[in-house]
Amino acid sequence: MSKNIELLSPAGDFECLKAAVQNGADSVYFGGSLFNARASASNFDSIGLKQAIDYCTIRNVKTHLTLNTLIKNNEFEQATSLAKEAYQLGIDALIIQDLGLAKYCIDNFPDLPIHASTQMSIHNLEGVQELEKLGFKRAVLARELSIEEIEYICSHSNIEIETFVHGALCICYSGQCLFSSMVGGRSGNRGKCAQPCRLPYALISKTENENHQKEEKILDNGYLLSPKDLCSLEFLPNLIDSGVSCFKIEGRLKNPEYVATVTRIYRKYIDKVLNHEKYIIEEKDKKDLMQVFNRGGFSSGHLDINPNQKLIFKEKPSNIGIYIGTVENYNANKGHVKLQLKDNLSIGDTISFENESTRYTISELMDGNTNYAYTKANTKVTIGRMKGNISNGDKVYKMASKELTNIAKQSYENKENKKILLNCIVNIKKDIPINMQIICTNNRHGADNYHNIKINISSHVTPVLAENSPVTCERVEKQISKTNNTPFVFENITVDLDDNLYIPNINATLNELRRNALEMLEAKIIDNKNRQLPKINKVNDDVLLTSQFLEHPSISLSLRDLSKDFDYQKLNKDKISRIYLALKLFSNKKYSDIIKYLSENYELYIYMPTIIKPNYRNMILNSLEELLQKYSIKGFVISNVADFKLLEKYHKKYDFVGNYSLNIFNNESIKEYEKLGLTCATLSRELNKETLQNLALHSNIEKELIVYGTLPLMAVGYCLLGNTNKCYPNCGANCLKDCKYYLKDRLRL
* pLDDT value, residue 616: 87
pLDDT over 80 (residue 542): no
Q: Name, in order, each residue with C-beta under 8 angstroms of 128's C-beta and a sequence gap of 6 or more.
A: 122, 139, 141, 153, 157, 159, 161
Q: H/E element holding 412?
A: helix 402-412
For 616: left if phi > 0, alpha if psi spans -120 to 50, otherwise beta; the answer is alpha
Q: Name, in order, each residue with C-beta under 8 angstroms of 234's C-beta and a sequence gap of 6 or more.
A: 281, 300
Residue with the larger pLDDT of the pair 461 and 214: 461
For residue 117, report the phi and psi dihedrals to the nearest 5 degrees.
Answer: -60, 155
Q: Burial letters for 177-195: b for 16+ Cβ neighbours within 10 Å, e otherwise?
A: bbbbbeeeebbbbbbbbbb
Whole-angstrom Cα distance, residue 395 to residue 719? 30
Average pLDDT over residues 643-669: 96
SS3 634: coil
Q: pLDDT-derived band of residue 614, with 50, 70 and 90 as boundaries? A: confident
Whole-angstrom Cα distance, residue 701 to residue 704? 10
* pLDDT value, residue 442: 60
Residue with the larger pLDDT of the pair 615 and 360: 360
pLDDT over 90 (residue 4): no
Q: H/E element holding 636?
A: strand 635-638
Please count the other Cβ atoms lying within 10 Å of the Cβ belonging to residue 124.
Answer: 26
* pLDDT value, residue 551: 58
pLDDT over 90 (residue 658): yes
Task: Say if residue 70 is exposed, middle or buried (CB neighbours under 10 Å; 0-12, 13-18, 19+).
Answer: buried
Nearest to 29 by CA among 164, 228, 153: 164
Half-sphere exposure of 748 (CA within 13 A, CB side): 10
- 661 secondary structure, DSSP code: G
* pLDDT value, residue 446: 45
Q: What percent of the chain has pLDDT over 70?
A: 97
- 719 secondary structure, DSSP code: B
Whole-angstrom Cα distance, residue 146 to residue 311? 14
Matching CATH number, 322-412, of 3.40.50.2300, 1.10.150.20, 2.40.160.60, 2.40.30.10: 2.40.30.10
pLDDT over 70 (residue 749): no
pTM of the model: 0.95
* pLDDT value, residue 1: 41
Q: pLDDT-derived band of residue 43, with 50, 70 and 90 as boundaries? A: confident
pLDDT over 80 (residue 28): yes
Whole-angstrom Cα distance, residue 60 to residue 94? 18
pLDDT over 70 (residue 547): no
Q: pLDDT-derived band of residue 720, with 50, 70 and 90 as boundaries? A: very high
Please count the other Cβ atoms lying within 10 Å of the Cβ belonging to residue 538.
Answer: 6
Lowest mean pLDDT among 314-328, 380-394, 537-551, 698-712: 537-551
Q: Name, in order, each residue with C-beta under 8 angstroms of 194's C-beta and a sequence gap of 6 or more.
A: 180, 183, 184, 186
pLDDT over 60 (residue 186): yes
* pLDDT value, residue 546: 43
- 638 secondary structure, DSSP code: E
- 568 secondary structure, DSSP code: G
Lowest mean pLDDT among 49-53, 157-161, 555-559, 615-619: 615-619
269-302: pLDDT as tens digits: 999 999 999 999 999 999 999 999 999 999 999 9
Give Cα 602 distance to the centre of its chain: 43
- 312 secondary structure, DSSP code: B
Domains 6-171+220-299 and 322-412 share a fold: no
Lowest mean pLDDT among 381-385, 638-642, 725-729: 725-729
pLDDT over 90 (residue 331): yes
Nearest to 115 by CA among 91, 137, 90, 86: 137
Please count the other Cβ atoms lying within 10 Å of the Cβ belonging to residue 396.
Answer: 26
Mean pLDDT score across all residues of the chain: 93
Lowest mean pLDDT among 120-129, 500-509, 547-556, 576-585: 547-556
Task: Say if residue 595 is exposed, middle or buried (CB neighbours under 10 Å; 0-12, 13-18, 19+).
Answer: buried
Lowest mean pLDDT among 42-46, 272-276, 584-588: 42-46
Residue with the larger pLDDT of the pair 208 and 526: 526
Residue with the larger pLDDT of the pair 466 and 734: 466
359-377: pLDDT as tens digits: 999 999 998 788 999 999 9
Q: pLDDT-derived band of residue 549, with 50, 70 and 90 as boundaries? A: very low
- 73 secondary structure, DSSP code: G
Q: Name, in order, each residue with C-beta under 8 angstroms of 521's C-beta and a sequence gap of 6 or more.
A: 422, 438, 453, 455, 488
Q: Where are the domains of the chain?
A: 6-171+220-299, 322-412, 420-529, 547-704
CB contact at 8 A, 169 and 227: yes
Whole-angstrom Cα distance, residue 187 to residue 180? 6
Distance in Å from the first CA to the final CA of the chain: 53
Q: Is the CATH number 3.30.530 carried by domain 547-704?
A: no
Q: Name, in order, each residue with C-beta under 8 angstroms of 368's C-beta and a sequence gap of 6 or more.
A: none
Lowest mean pLDDT among 1-15, 133-147, 405-419, 470-484: 1-15
Q: Name, in order, each residue with C-beta under 8 angstroms of 338's C-beta and a sequence gap of 6 or more.
A: 327, 328, 329, 330, 380, 381, 382, 383
| Partners of 312 in the β-ladder | 227
Please count the other Cβ atoms lying within 10 Å of the Cβ belonging to residue 636.
Answer: 24
Whole-angstrom Cα distance, residue 292 to residue 391? 26
Please count the other Cβ atoms lying within 10 Å of the Cβ belonging to residue 647.
Answer: 21
* pLDDT value, residue 409: 97
pLDDT over 50 (residue 93): yes
CB contact at 8 A, 59 and 445: no
Residue with the larger pLDDT of the pair 415 and 90: 90
468-522: pLDDT as tens digits: 889 999 999 999 999 988 999 999 999 999 999 999 999 999 999 999 999 999 9
Q: What percent of the chain has pLDDT over 90?
A: 85
Matching CATH number, 6-171+220-299, of 3.20.20.380, 2.60.120.260, 2.30.29.30, 3.40.190.10: 3.20.20.380
